[in-house]
Amino acid sequence: MIDPLFQPITINGMEVKNRIFMPAMHLNMAGNYAVSDRLVDFYVERARGGAGMITVGYATVDELSGNPGNIGAHKDIYIPGLTRLASAIRDNGARSSVQLNHAGRYNHSMLTGGRQPVAPSAIASRLTRETPHELDISEIEEIISCFARAAGRVKEARFDAVEILSGTGYLISEFLSPLTNKREDRYGGDFDNRSRFGLEVIAAVRAVVGADYPLVVRMNGNEFMKGGSTRAELQEYAERLEAAGVDALCINVGWHEAQVPQIVTEVPRGVFGYLARGIRERVSIPVIASHRINDPELAREMIADGICDMVALGRALIADPFFPEKARTGHDADIVHCVACGQGCFDNLFKMKAVECLCNPRAGYEGARTLTKAETPLNVTVIGGGAAGMSAAIAAAGRGHRVTLHEAGDQLGGQLLLAGAPPGRDEFLELAVDLERQVELSGTTVIFNSTVDEQFLKESAPDAVILATGGTPIAPQIPGARQPHVVQAWDVLTENVVTGRRVVIIGGGAVGIETALLLAEKGTLSGEALKFLLVHGAEYIEDLYGLATHGSKEVTVIEMLEELGKNFGKSTRWGMMQDVERYGVATRTAARVVEITDAYVMIECDGSIEEIPADTVVLAVGTKAHNPLQELVATSGIPFRVIGDAQKPAMVYDAIHQGFNAGREIG
């Protein structure tokens, strides 16, 4: 059978070997705008992995369009670095392009030497809290020229194509949207005038690069901004872009300010494909769908069903650079899927760090974290089959060591199985499966229901031991906490207990919030049921919304701190907190639990005592290290490392990275 994902496609005379397109993502790996070794290493790995086309960027068109962490295309001095990057991608089998962009009001003055960001109108951004300078006509014309000159540099650097970013709330989309464009001259007002800036950028770029050079535009299919451009207007804009000479369209969604989640785990796979389809039905040039496409079978289906002509795999290729080659050769099961956590990619940018990855400890460290074969293979024992232990086993085996992984239970995964239990978090269950597959491929021997003791260590005599025995839930010293109706969140998440109608959760961190949302969804309509009732007109739409968000339990979360979910990543937390409100979860912050009775949880808040009715009380107050073997191993004299929660409770990200480094550093 012909695989639609691996059929070539032509974009203005440029043949791309398959339908996998890696979109531009800000990696924060450039050094003062210059292409770095780290950046080249990152993209070489993705080219070697089989992507058909790779777009780097975004790249700057002038000094107010980005910051020194972006790739520079606004001066000739950056051409040699761009040329090196283009060659590196091409020499490893992929087509290459550069995305050009101007951040507009999304730029930060702290990143531009204190200079005020610019925009079509002086309307403050909720993202930056800064009010931009309103561009005058001469400044607009100069920015258009800057786009064109930057495109000329891209072509001179021998990239195969150039892409213009015309969405996501950046400058071109700020002109297009009535939300941010209040001008009264030829660049503002009706749709014709608001689309003028973007179309003039395209015309200027085309004039410089010539008719035969592939020109792509990445644009919104929907802004998800109240009062912004409509979906119908964006479809019309796509038609105008084609008429202006654009050769392909890559469809993304939302602005950075949008309240609709776009990249996190709760977003269903491929859900925004309908936007690409809506535009593909209006144009004759190739259309690329994007966002939350992380599985080859889904990608094949979208292409075969006419949703799109290509698929954009961004974070999917951060998580597994060899996704394309594995899919091409029939090894779909060997792919490590992106879990859409945002922790290493998106959240790192808020911390002014380079992009990394929870699933792939080598992402961003392709040159530094290599698995070279050890001169002397060792016998390595890993104790614990959670995320940290599996990661350690994979890395140690990758260096040629003989690895045995001992798991006390009958299943690998550890706390990944808890992380994947709440609604919209099942990607973590897939990660457990993916890591288990990587353990199998590594040649590691896995022993389940295994007890490691002094006799075992004497008999097996390992050369090195990695302790990854995980953590256990904390049992707080609260009066009444030992009653039968008081349970641990871990038992709720694994469905080992039954909860009553009124549930009080003590602890408002990540585990507490995830448990609350799991319980709050009990009794709500499933997606399948919702579609059935909607299609058949069985209920009013507003009633369906209520049935989808109001369950059969009353859930209350108690937290000592003044904020909930402080240990979530930034890109995940805001969506989770929206869901807390959406699903009617009651919250009490800055509250101390005084006592648990058979019918109430007594709390002290602002000096007052309050009784909250509870049929079930759930404890979610944290994790403590579980490391019963360290003294035994230390006494034996065997070299050892302690990783993951066994060392110090942390996030899955930390466990996987610690495990990889521990395994890599043996021998």
**Confidence check: pLDDT of 667 > 90:** no
pLDDT recorded at residue 117: 95
- Given a cut of 90, whether residue 568 has pLDDT beyond it is no
| pLDDT above 80 (res 1) | no
* pLDDT (tens digit per residue) in 121-146: 999 988 888 999 999 999 999 999 99
Res 234 pLDDT > 90: yes
pLDDT at residue 532 is higher than 80: yes
In whole angstroms, give the CA distance from residue 422 to residue 429: 10
| Confidence band of 373 (pLDDT split at 50, 70, 90) | very high
Say which CATH number the domain at 558 has. 3.50.50.60
- Domain extent, residue 652, equals 379-472+624-664
Statement: residue 536 has pLDDT above 90: yes
Q: What is the mean pLDDT of the chain?
A: 95
CATH number at residue 648: 3.40.50.720
Q: What is the pLDDT of residue 110?
A: 87
pLDDT at 313 over 80: yes
> Are 589 and 628 part of one and the same domain?
no
**Residue 574 sits in the same domain as residue 585:** yes
Q: Do both 578 and 640 map to the same domain?
A: no
pLDDT at 574: 83
CATH of the domain at 304: 3.20.20.70
Compute the average pLDDT of residues 575-582.
91
DSSP state of 287: E
18 in any annotated domain: yes
Mean pLDDT along residues 599-613: 93
| Residue 569 pLDDT grade (very low, low, confident, very high; cuts 50, 70, 90) | confident
User: Is a pLDDT exceeding 90 seen at residue 663?
Assistant: yes
Confidence of residue 268 (pLDDT cuts 50, 70, 90): very high
Among 277, 307, 332, where does a domain finish? 332
Same domain, 453 and 565: no
Confidence band for 348, pLDDT divided at 50, 70 and 90:
confident
Q: What angle do CA 394, 399, 403 make, to 5 degrees?
A: 55
- Residue 566: which pLDDT band, with cuts at 50, 70 and 90? confident
What is the model's pLDDT at position 181?
98
- Alpha carbons 414 and 620: distance in angstroms, whole number: 17
Asked whether residue 631 falls in the same domain as residue 600, the answer is no
Give the pLDDT confidence of 480-523 residue by residue, as tens digits: 999 999 999 999 999 999 999 999 999 999 999 999 999 999 99
Alpha-carbon Rg for the chain in angstroms: 27
CA distances from residue 608 to 587, 590, 596, 605 in whole angstroms, order as listed: 16, 12, 16, 5
Total count of domains within the chain: 3
pLDDT exceeds cutoff 90 at 301: yes
Does some domain include residue 77? yes
High-pLDDT (> 90) share of the chain, %? 90
Q: Is the pLDDT of residue 148 over 80?
A: yes
Task: Count CB atoms within 10 A of the CB of residue 40.
Answer: 20
In a domain, 160, yes or no: yes
In this prediction, what percent of the chain has a pLDDT beyond 70?
100
Strands 616-619 and 464-467 come out as unpaired
Q: How do residues 451-477 score in pLDDT, each as one tens digit?
A: 999 899 989 999 999 999 999 999 999
The pTM assigned to this predicted structure is: 0.94
Angle at 425 between CA 420 and CA 429, to 5 degrees: 35
Read off the pLDDT of residues 596-605 as tens digits, 9 standing for 90 and up: 999 999 999 9
